[in-house]
Structure 1
Amino acid sequence: MSIHLEQEVAEYSERRLRLATAITDYADWLDRQHGIDAERTLRLADTAAGLRQDKLVVAFVAEFSRGKTELINALFFADHGQRLLPSDAGRTTMCPTELFANADELPSLSLLPIETRRRSESLARLKHMPIEWCRVLLDPADPRQLQESLKKLTETKSMPAVDAIEMGLWNGEDASEHHLLRADGTVEVPAWRYAMVNYPHPLLQAGLTILDTPGLNALGAEPELTLSVIPNAHAVMYLLATDTGVTRSDLEIWQKHVHRHSNYHVAVLNKIDMLWDELKSDAEVQATIERQAEETARVLKLPRSRVFTVSAQKALAATIRGDAALRVRSGIESLEYLLAHQVIPARRDMLYHAVSREVATLLDESRADLAARLKRSSDELIQLTQLSGKNRELIEQTRASLQQEKDSYDATADQFRSTRKMVQGQGEHLLSHLSEDTLDAILKAARDTMENSWTTRGLTGGIRHLSEEMGSRFQQATRLADNMLDALEQAYMRFHRKHNLPKMQVPRLDLGAYRNRLDALTRETDAFCKDPANLMLEKRFMIRRFYAGLAEEARKAFKLARLEAERWLRIALDPIMTRIREHKQYLDTRLASLQRILENMGTLHSRMAQIKQEISTLRHDKLELARMSEQLTV
């Protein structure tokens, strides 16, 4: 692992945690402010928690025997002096493997039995069901135990061919797989469906998650990988072998599972040492490698700059032996540079700017709150200063004028309560479009459409019904939100014009990201349905599995959309109610103060001293907010 890669991951982690800490400080500051709504502090707490839990996900995708696992060892674990993941000849990871670090649990290898493919639960749900996993504790201080334990990733088992067909693990109609059928009617399949490795490596502890996804069969057998896991990765490394170039199965994986996704992806031609020839000059060898890289770029329709040539095995050996020249020749440094200076900074900046935009709106509101409170206190102090030494009649006139202002304000507040009640009713109607019951009804209708026809047409019809119905609900919810916002903005303007309250800017409810996710799922579905390998009636299991994965992803999008709508409703209603109460309290306090002065003229100067202290505190709060604002925007 290069020092640059380690530094960039560490910087990514440090900046992420520094931003989370600054947001937490800001939330604490808000908690100390009297009368400020709790919604903002809740939003900030969620944002800070999300930052601390954020992972940088890099997925490695390839057909079997492309050296993918060896490349993971070379890039991230060479400093161990040995292979962390098994990658000997004929001994490679047989199931999708996720490597991460969780300090709250002991280092371990968790394995999901292949038989769970008969179950309807998604991988995402099974991850939260510990009883379904076989768990092996790992000892990072014992290299032998670590190596032996991780060999479980290579395990296979015999299974009756009929069961393998049922679970989508073997295709008896594919001539290229006939040789896998044994005389006793069994075939060899992976022993495990999915593996999770919790390992305390510095890069993993800093927030890196690595996905090792082996082979076309594994990807095809787990639609969830295609629908969710790979699309959610921040970078995809697609491996090919330099000596063979792009084979048919390589191209199939690329077209089905990699290039359609919008995340950052590159092609890595591995095993360039197969082309090293002592009978050729270095220039001739390099020219051969370059031709392969250019041809790969042409076939995959990638810029040449997105195709890398490496020898993972030589890179690993060079790092372990301290052979700097061999390490340079292996080509690993260009890939490390890509990760360190493009992938990681891009993710870091994207995350930072997204959070900054979220927090910037809240900072603007806090500044407006402080400015309004400072102005009110200053106005009251000026008024009391002008009343100093005046007679009781003048003070009574001032109190009467203030009472009129309060009466007018109360009338506006009563009017707003009617608006608020109407908006709350519309809000309940809005949320009903995104409720669990609504979603269950949509999913049931889609299943009913498909129930008697597991053909491509039936699948497409069911899924299109699912997508159209959900999209329609999103549109209806958005229209309702727009109508509600128009009513609220008119009410806000009345408070601003009549009583000089700060202008309130509530953003419109935007469910576009979730609609886009549905559209992406629909595109994946169309591609799945058009795939000739999935057109046969015998593929019912795969179609059901694909639909189950699709429904799971749709449920996630629906749930997130509802949470967004609930959050928006709180943002739209709670802040203005807080400001209404705060301004009412301010008017009540001023009236009570003037009444006390009328009853005892000696209290005027003590009230002025109290206001001066309040102004001093508010100015201190303003400086503190400015300091935190600088930390959050650097």
Structure 2
Amino acid sequence: MVSQVASDQFIQDLERVAQVRSEMAMCLQNLSETIHQAELDGESSSGKLSLERDLEDIDIASKNLKKGVFRLLVLGDMKRGKSTFLNALIGENLLPSDVNPCTAVLTILRYGAEKKVTIHFNDGKSPQQLDFQSFKYKYTIDPAEAKKLEQEKKQAFPDVDYAVVEYPLTLLEKGIEIVDSPGLNDTEARNELSLGYVNNCHAILFVMRASQPCTLGERRYLENYVKGRGLSVFFLINAWDQVKESLIDPDDAEDLQAAENRLRKVFKANLGEYCHVDGQDIYDERVFELSSIQALRRRLKDSQADLAGTGFPEFMSALNTFLTRERAIAELRQVRTLARQAVNHTREAIGRRIPLLDQNVAELKSRIDSVEPEFKKLTDIRDQFQKEIFNTRDSQARKISESFRSYVMNLGNTFESDFLRYQPELNLWDFLSNGKREAFNAALQKAFEQYMADKCAAWTLTAEKDINTAFKELSRSAAQYGASYHQVTERITEKLTDKQVKVNAASGSTEEDNSPTWAKWAMGLLSLSRGNLAGIAMAGAGFDWKNILLNYFTVIGVGSIITAVTGVMLGPIGFALLGLGVGFLQADQARKELVKTAKKELVKYLPQIANEQSQIVYDAVKECFDSYEKEVSKRINDDINSRKSELDNLLKQKQTREINREAELKRLKTLQENIIAQLQKIEAVYSNLLAAYS
């Protein structure tokens, strides 16, 4: 039973990763408690070592590990079988199979000891708990009604923010959290919603259907919101079994093979470009042909059923490799780096403290004064890097806002060819009928919404690439400034102790670990952020410039452009069409007149749009770099202040009490031995995980 082996292996690997996370979290907690206790003890001996920032960072990392999950975002258009797929994945008929894909209701599926559904509202009402049957009944809507609501631009549940479904399932218990998003849609508000989730999930499960291969809506969504954004996407082609059922003779193996091969060529042609990572083609590791209904039926009858032939074993194996090996190892590597950093800082502080225990107050003051010029060099490095960030910020903000301005102003140049695939079906009889004029206007407005949404999405991708390039340059600068900073801190230690700095191999240090923590953060090597989703804030202080951009760019033009432009365009377009008469032979001329008039009205408003919205773009880009600079400067200042406080603490203690040198020497050496031993445990846990997958 290959399929069961794959499923069991996935659960086992998830459990292994969960156990390693737990062990790592405990090791970090022990490390934190050891350092924290040493700082408390220092208050009554030679003074604190000023390790507050290290304690804060490892405490955050420990909490994140304890809460850590692999969050999967499920995307898919109407009637693609998303809920059927999810029910088959978890092995229970849990989610409503016809949840309205046109609502803004987000469903987060996570582990809970008891079955529970909680509805969270966006209007201040207290969360509401429902049983599963009530949830399925209340939040399931007929597709025809969903389509009507979409056309009317209405939401079925406008007061609902999201729903949390808790369930005692093994898959969820082992660290999987599933986000079932609203279905794909052409409205910009819905796309904004999905983009917000995309940035905070480990992987996207994009559900498609074999009988509707790569629809225009799906291609548009992939082109505008997935392509070029570095996202990890698994494409699940659902209802593959229906390929056979669609044949005149389902038992004709040759016809079936030919039909399947034709479909595979279509999907390969449309999805191939989304399946390249670092120049490698991983199409076979990202695209899967599934029969969710067959898998669900088997699992409902027997949770241990053989799922061979449904595509689930192959998909589960690929997802397993991605999550428990690639993503988990990368995450834990960062945790190990953080632990190394905390241990190195503590050891360095101990190395400075011990030689100074023999100094009297006058001698200690003299040594502290001797390193004051070095501290000035540290602040100079901070100021230089800060200046570079600000220069980059200003140049990028100007460049990108001007890019937006030029982009908008040039929309008219290609409008006639670009808008061809968006314009609504034109039926003059319907348009001239009072009963249909409103529907035509709505269709035209939707066409402009699609057009403008796509155009803005295309431009934001260019902006993201420019900003990403700028941050890569800053990352390289951070490495250089960090190296200079490290050299200065070594000179400080040498001046204070009269000893050359040596690295203790027992700490597990590498050359990379010599970079100060602030430089690692600035280089993107260290992230404490877990993101946030659907109003559920996760602990952690990190930096995500894409979310900053998203918060700004969701208000760029699209809504205001559509409101401003289409509101005044529909009248002129209508009058232009009325002047053509109603002859059938004039339909093509009417279509040309529609585009011509639409272009004329659009171009009229482009300067206003460019001027008003370019300032929003400027502010968005500026905010990205300002947030980065704020955190970098804070971390550098924390490091400089902690180094000064460390010396001030010792001087204050010497001025107020007699320090028992032997007792203090023993305490500090014991502290060093303990933290090195705890780091070695962390190294062992990490190495064991690597060995398990080698």
Global fold match (TM > 0.5): yes
Q: What CA distance in whole angstroms lies between the structure 1 residues aligned with 2:295 and 2:468?
A: 49
Q: Specify which structure has the bigger relative contact order, considering alpha-carbon pairs within 8 angstroms and separated by 6 or more residues.
A: 2
The alignment of Structure 1 onto Structure 2 pairs a total of residues equal to 533
One-letter code of the match for 2:108?
Answer: L
Residues 1:491 and 1:556: Cα distance change in structure 2 (over 3 Å): closer
* 1:575 aligned residue (629, 642, 649): 642
One-letter code of the match for 1:347?
Answer: R
C-alpha displacement at 1:28, in angstroms? Answer: 0.9
Q: Secondary structure at the match of 1:240?
A: strand
C-alpha displacement at 1:308, in angstroms? Answer: 0.5
1:72 maps to which residue? 86
C-alpha displacement at 1:258, in angstroms? Answer: 2.5
* 1:414 aligned residue (336, 361, 369): 369
C-alpha displacement at 1:254, in angstroms? Answer: 2.1
Instruction: Indicate conservation of the 8 Å contact 1:93/1:153, yes or no.
Output: no
C-alpha displacement at 1:508, in angstroms? Answer: 6.0
Q: Deviations over 1:345-383 (max 9, x none)?
A: 322111101121122122222233445556778xx7xxx
Q: What CA distance in whole angstroms lies between the structure 1 residues aligned with 2:622 and 2:23?
A: 33
Residues 1:209 and 1:566: Cα distance change in structure 2 (over 3 Å): farther
Q: Taking structure 1 as the reference length, what is the TM-score of the superposition? A: 0.66
Residues 1:498 and 1:59: Cα distance change in structure 2 (over 3 Å): closer
* 2:133 aligned residue (122, 132, 144): 144
Q: What CA distance in whole angstroms lies between the structure 2 residues aligned with 1:45 and 1:422?
A: 30
Within 5 Å, give how 1:594-605 maps onto structure 2: none
Quick check: 362-371 or 413-422, which moved more? 413-422
One-letter code of the match for 1:496?
Answer: E
One-letter code of the match for 1:538?
Answer: T
C-alpha displacement at 1:137, in angstroms? Answer: 0.4
1:349 maps to which residue? 329
Within 5 Å, give how 1:318-397 maps onto structure 2: 318-322=298-302, 327-370=307-350
Q: What CA distance in whole angstroms lies between the structure 2 residues aligned with 1:24 and 1:153?
A: 51
C-alpha displacement at 1:331, in angstroms? Answer: 1.8
Residues 1:485 and 1:343: Cα distance change in structure 2 (over 3 Å): closer
Q: Secondary structure at the match of 1:191?
A: coil
C-alpha displacement at 1:333, in angstroms? Answer: 1.7
2:235 paired with 1:267: yes
Within 5 Å, give how 1:76-155 maps onto structure 2: 76=90, 78=91, 80=92, 83-88=93-98, 94-95=103-104, 97-101=106-110, 107-110=116-119, 131-132=123-124, 135-139=127-131, 143-151=132-140
Q: What CA distance in whole angstroms lies between the structure 1 residues aligned with 2:133 and 2:107?
A: 21
Q: What CA distance in whole angstroms lies between the structure 1 residues aligned with 2:271 and 2:101?
A: 26
Unaligned runs of 5+ in 2: 43-47, 276-282, 413-451, 502-513, 525-541, 568-601, 686-694
Aligned sequence identity (%): 13
Residues 1:102 and 1:495: Cα distance change in structure 2 (over 3 Å): same
1:213 maps to which residue? 181
Instruction: Indicate conservation of the 8 Å contact 1:434/1:474, yes or no.
Output: no
2:497 maps to which residue? 499
Q: Deviations over 1:268-309 (max 9, x none)?
A: 111012123574266864664355234312332242442201
Within 5 Å, give how 1:354-503 maps onto structure 2: 354-370=334-350, 407-417=362-372, 420=375, 489-490=487-488, 493-497=491-495, 499-500=497-498, 503=501
Within 5 Å, give how 1:580-595 maps onto structure 2: 580-581=647-648, 584=651
1:51 maps to which residue? 65
2:36 paired with 1:36: no
Q: Taking structure 2 as the reference length, what is the TM-score of the superposition? A: 0.61
Residues 1:473 and 1:249: Cα distance change in structure 2 (over 3 Å): closer
Within 5 Å, give how 1:520-531 maps onto structure 2: none
Quick check: 485-494 or 466-475, which moved more? 466-475
Instruction: Indicate conservation of the 8 Å contact 1:239/1:269, yes or no.
Output: yes
Residues 1:50 and 1:317: Cα distance change in structure 2 (over 3 Å): same
Within 5 Å, give how 1:3-22 maps onto structure 2: 3-22=8-27
Instruction: Indicate conservation of the 8 Å contact 2:240/2:290, yes or no.
Output: yes
One-letter code of the match for 1:414?
Answer: D
RMSD: 5.5
C-alpha displacement at 1:315, in angstroms? Answer: 0.8
Instruction: Indicate conservation of the 8 Å contact 1:27/1:45, yes or no.
Output: yes
Unaligned runs of 5+ in 1: 113-129, 171-185, 381-401, 594-606
2:566 maps to which residue? 538
Q: What CA distance in whole angstroms lies between the structure 2 residues aligned with 1:300 and 1:95?
A: 27
Q: Secondary structure at the match of 2:308?
A: helix
Quick check: 301-310 or 619-628, which moved more? 619-628
C-alpha displacement at 1:59, in angstroms? Answer: 1.6
Q: Deviations over 1:526-564 (max 9, x none)?
A: 9x999xx989943999x99x9999899869845752552
1:396 maps to which residue? none
Q: What CA distance in whole angstroms lies between the structure 1 residues aligned with 2:142 and 2:162?
A: 7
